[in-house]
Amino acid sequence: MTSFSLTLQILDGAVCQDIKTGGPWTASEGLLHINHLEMLAALKAFECFTTSSFSTSIGLRVDNTSAVSYINRLGGRKSAALCPVALNIASWCESKNLELHAIFLPGVSNVSDAVTETTVIRRLDAIGGCL
């Protein structure tokens, strides 16, 4: 298995092997809880960066402990909204034989903080994949 890392920061985008992507949330997404947004950002990053990846180990660095927990445990008991997103991430990984390990990365250490709305290269849902 090949290993690479995705680094996520909601609203600011995602980074994979120096390729940065991101974009603003839709009006309806903007009303969601921050934990839900982190999970959606992770799902969009997977779909974006692993389009052509199979049988790969992924280290996902997220600055939200709830998202890390729900991703690593494939769900949880405290938020009904986060479970379906966690299961969608798991389903995506399973369909491509991707091994996933989410890791907490404090926001001050998150390199994707530099990706802002004014420096966005492409929206998460518009890029083909970096691997």
| Ranges of each domain in the chain | 2-126
pLDDT at 112 over 60: no
pLDDT at 57 over 60: yes
pLDDT in tens, 14-25: 887 777 778 888
Report d(CA 33, CA 17) in Å as an integer: 29
Using a 10 angstrom Cβ sphere, with 0-12 exposed, 13-18 middle and 19 or more buried, the burial of residue 38 is buried
Region 2-126: CATH code: 3.30.420
